[in-house]
Chain A
Amino acid sequence: MPKLRPTTRKLVLLGTIGGIILIAGYFKVFLHSDLRQPIQYNHKIHIESAGMTCVDCHESVLVSASATIPRLEICTSCHSGEPISDSPEEPKLLKFVADGNEIPWQRVYSVPDHVYFSHQRHVTDGRIECATCHGNIPDFTQPVTSTFMPVMMESCMDCHRLNGVTNDCLACHR
């Protein structure tokens, strides 16, 4: 190690720390998720108190590739006009309803376009529980902002291997 002047040493130190922060930020080491949902949606209350099921809002999960993020119309079938709870989040929803604007929900789970994933195939045909990939959503009091199971090829292939499903590339890649 060559002998450096104190100012140079400080600069080197600062540079190193800055570099680490930049790299960590790039790979999101410290951040689990930077997603923020427009409404602090409570899955637990909807499922436990209102007695709803996943399919009631994610209506296409059994019949199409995409499970779909609920449309505003689905919310308005219960929430229209007067608030039906004392949640501070409900007025936010009612504002969207009054304005007739769709709620800008942030999508959490997505597969790249070179991957074919079908909910129907997994849930209806494969009889896989939602919780296997999405976690125990009925216990979530906060909106979903991060993935329960990482959307990575390893996760898919491990499960396929365990269940004796094909791991041929062409079965999922297109």
Chain B
Amino acid sequence: MMSSLAKFGASIAKEARILGRDRQALILFFSMPVVFVLILSLSLRDAFGDRPGATFPVLVVAQDSAEVGHAIIQTFRANPHIQLALSRTASEAQARQWLIDGHYRFVVLVPAGATDQAKRRLGEILASVPPELRIEKPVEIRVLADPAMRADYRQVLESSVDLVLHGVEMRLAREQVEQTLRATQGENHMPLPDMENARLFGAVQGETVTKQGRGQTPSSVQQNAPAWTLLAMFFLTVPLSVSFIKEREQGSLFRLQTMNVPAWVVLGGKAVPFFVINQIQMISVLAVSVHVLPLLGGDRLDLGNAPFALALMGACASLAAIGFGLAVAMYARTTEQAAGFSSAMVMIMGALGGILVPKAVMPPLMQDLANLSPLSWGLDGFQDVFVRGGGITDVLPEALGLLAFSAFCHGVGILRYQGRI
């Protein structure tokens, strides 16, 4: 056994030496995930979470400067997600062109005399004029949208305009009733209740629930840091499988087999340096996400309070990736086959597993299918810690899944190496 351990150590040293001499590859292994996390976390920072930075430009063409125009402007001005631009004179055609040119994501058109028209219509309603005899039509406030904007954003904006108009309706109705009372009962008319401050329901309180009760939602960096770490880990299957096939082509594997070197020494000796690289990849991505990203204006990654859970996830994800690489190497006949197949499979597993496209935006069927991907298990495990405040026990299902995948792949690889399958 001691002899096998010494051989194991020599195999690790040999592989580390070979890897260490390929400086360009090493630089790529470590820089790729870091660069991806930096770029994507900064680019997508507004697409995740409930953060004031997630803004889009909205033009309000308020040709009406009375209550209706004023209410919409005030409401949008107070909304941190909206960069408000105001025009009193722009025509609809101009506004449409600005939208097409990409200057604005939304345009809200408030026609001239909107408030007066609303008041006249209210007068007819309060005078009990039957609908078919009313002269004034409902005031039309229109929202024009950039087709690139997500439908849910459009709906939110339309709803918020609707809400503003509903408030204006209430206020105008109260004023009209008060005027009528004043006209019929004089200045000492029966007082009206203060409807402005008489809401029956409090403002809706949104809260996200985590184990520790901290109300954070996943940010861009909380999605991208684990996602690209996992993808980088699995992408290491390409050089791993290629290096194995090269050894086979060069004949050194043949030589080791004739020397009766145990399979675990040969495969393990190759796996350990790649495992170490995986761990360094993870640590460097996390370090950059915590310390560098905020300096560039991005969110700081909250690592949670479970370092052992993170270490467990990192180890299990790496073992899964290495097992996959070894299994590919055992079945691929050429380096081209191994590189092509493993990179394609990693991209597919990444796309399916919520790495490239977050699972949250997938339809239900795809979210179910995502659970087939080991990368999805890894991402869930990391987000258990980062987003949901979980610990070791929370990440155990994902960690065990990755370990089972790793054991299966290693088993297939070893049996194939020994010529048993």
A and B: interacting chains: no
Residues on A close to B: CB < 8 A?
A: none
Interface residues of B (CB under 8 A from A): none
